Structure 1
Amino acid sequence: MARAALLQMTTGIDPQANAAAIVDGVAQARAGGAAMLFTPEMSGLLDRKRERGGRLIRTEEEDLVLGAVREAARREGIWVHIGSLAVACADRADGKWANRAFVIDDKGEIRARYDKMHMFDVDLATGESWRESNAYAAGDEVVTVETPLGRLGLAICYDVRFPALFEALGRARCDLIAIPAAFTVPTGKAHWHLLQRARAVEASAYVLSAAQAGLHEDGRETYGHSLAIDPWGEVLLDMGGADGGGTRGEGAQGGAGVGFVDLDPARIAEVRKQLPSLANRRIIAK
């Protein structure tokens, strides 16, 4: 068994405050016996007013949240997956940022980076309108990395709706996949649990999805319900949201905080033997 921790957050517009929340989460995860902590999408800054928020976005080398988390990981001796940070890209002529995930080892070293591939450009029936591609550049690389929990595949939020990425992660025989998110409430109520469970089943892998939850300083509301799902699609941990509804697992509480889940590597082999969909998969010609 290996223990993972998920940090559910209500990230605000002050990176220093957000960094402090993550550092505290790192300490709680280590105290709870976790080998690795997972945080949500946009852990360091969540601000829909891009002109205001943009003044605080830095390159990796200058990002205070990334620096603080690397130091905390080294100090506590724990791996951390930062679900994503808004990162300035000095080499981009168009000035667009990256929505970038980081995997940090227990020495504070960055082991992997992943830039979100699919941009959230939608107009919802509630009147909410989002154009992520106006400010962020899409990534184009499938990323996996070896961790104390096994081979980890990386995705971010809206990526969950695009099966081709998860087919690639399945072919890479990932043991677990991280899908950190800042899901809206309407889309979360409709599709969050459904999509997360489907991705676990089709990859025959654990899915760990740390999420943003509640009413944020910039006025948005996010769905929450950070999840841990086993390779058979069973929900092991649901931390709930503003609506409550956390159904099982250590740390289900509805708001911000740390939840824990124990992962059994033998469960992956058991499911893949019982239902060998990865072995049976065929490549469909275009």
Structure 2
Amino acid sequence: MDAQENLRTIEQACADAAQKGVGYLQVPEMAVMFAEDHNGLRAFVREQADEAIKLLATMAENHQLYLHVGSMAVASPTGKFLNRAFLFGPDGREVASYDKIHLFDADVDGDAPYRESKNFDAGTRAVVADVNGIGLGMAICYDLRFPQLFATLRQAGAQILTVPAAFTVPTGKAHWESLLRARAIETGCYVVAAAQGGHHANGRNTYGHSMIIDPWGRVIASCTEGNHGLIVAPFDADKVKDARSRIPTLANARDFSLSVNHNAAQ
């Protein structure tokens, strides 16, 4: 849980991405500090968060790319924290931020219970950022299980959906790829998902398997089991148009009644 080491890793990723001509780089959820308890989060927010944000902005500027910091903890007015994603532009300015809406409160077989709401407050606002004229819809990890958020992002102009994550191993094996591909297919968007992987100092194990998926639901880049590093894929706006013209879900969508039991005896 060494924030300085993690920042050095992100710096190297920026350098590698810039060398490959990448214009947009995403790093996982809690990429700077993956603290587990309230005290660890509080110490990071008080002592390191502001400086980390400045360093990340400088990285984006130095390497002339959009840097999407999957998330990091920031202070909330309630005394808890917010799980916030940041997008910095090539000029070093903050383009957008997004606070994770859906908090992971779950009991997963084979893993310790998760209660994200114990330490975090939920966000309330969906965000689509502009990246050189491309709509970038922002989400984080557990948000992936809530398709209405992604439908809303699509309707608001998203062409790329982003899902930086720290998925558990059991849920990752069962659902990660299926959910990512479903969100791409439903919306006709690219999906970019940088994921934490391996055993962490806080005792957690995460699934990894970062992926980039095209608007037809095909995995076009991925990290395989046990691997980590930079994956790269091109954005093609024509593929977005093609997927949406072939299956025009937005045009075909209809309002409907929520009433049930139509066949019940009167």
Aligned length, in residue pairs: 258
SS in 2 for 1:22: helix
Question: 1:167: which partner in 2?
Answer: 151
1:118-137 matches, cutoff 5 A? 118-137=102-121
Question: 2:44: which partner in 1?
Answer: 56
Question: 1:85: which partner in 2?
Answer: 72
2-structure distance, mates of 1:67, 1:241: 33
Deviations 1:41-73 (A, max 9, x none): 01110122432343112499x523221110011
Contact 1:57 1:63 in 2 (8 A): yes
Is 1:237–2:224 an aligned residue pair? no
2-structure distance, mates of 1:196, 1:270: 19
Question: 2:27: which partner in 1?
Answer: 39
1:252-267 matches, cutoff 5 A? 254-255=227-228, 257-267=229-239
Matched to 1:269, the amino acid is: K
1-structure distance, mates of 2:56, 2:231: 18
2-structure distance, mates of 1:170, 1:283: 17
Q: Cα 1:58–1:148, aligned 2, differ >3 Å: closer, same or farther?
A: farther
Matched to 2:39, the amino acid is: E
Percentage of matched positions with identical amino acids: 40
Deviations 1:110-162 (A, max 9, x none): 01110000110111111411110010000010100110371000000000001
- Structure 1 gap ranges (5+): 1-12, 243-253
Contact 2:128 2:157 in 1 (8 A): no
1:131-210 matches, cutoff 5 A? 131-148=115-132, 150-210=134-194
Structure 2 length-normalised TM? 0.93
Matched to 2:68, the amino acid is: H
2-structure distance, mates of 1:134, 1:85: 16
Contact 1:83 1:180 in 2 (8 A): yes
Q: Which of the residues 72, 83, 87 maps onto 2:59?
A: 72
Question: 2:251: which partner in 1?
Answer: 279
- Structure 2 gap ranges (5+): 259-266
Root-mean-square deviation (Å): 1.6
Shift of 1:21: 0.8
- Structure 1 residue runs of 4+, over 4 Å off? none
Shift of 1:280: 1.1
Deviations 1:164-197 (A, max 9, x none): 1111112113110100000000000000000000
Question: 1:116: which partner in 2?
Answer: 100
Contact 1:35 1:149 in 2 (8 A): no
Question: 1:18: which partner in 2?
Answer: 6
Contact 2:41 2:73 in 1 (8 A): no
Question: 1:4: which partner in 2?
Answer: none
2-structure distance, mates of 1:283, 1:116: 27
Shift of 1:285: 4.4
Give the structure with higher Rg (CA).
Answer: 2
Q: Cα 1:78–1:278, aligned 2, differ >3 Å: closer, same or farther?
A: same
Q: Cα 1:149–1:37, aligned 2, differ >3 Å: closer, same or farther?
A: farther
1-structure distance, mates of 2:248, 2:40: 50
2-structure distance, mates of 1:52, 1:81: 23
Q: Cα 1:127–1:181, aligned 2, differ >3 Å: closer, same or farther?
A: closer
Q: Cα 1:48–1:276, aligned 2, differ >3 Å: closer, same or farther?
A: same
Contact 1:59 1:88 in 2 (8 A): no
SS in 1 for 2:45: coil
2-structure distance, mates of 1:180, 1:46: 13
Higher RCO (C-alpha 8 Å, min separation 6): 1
SS in 2 for 1:262: coil
Matched to 2:116, the amino acid is: E
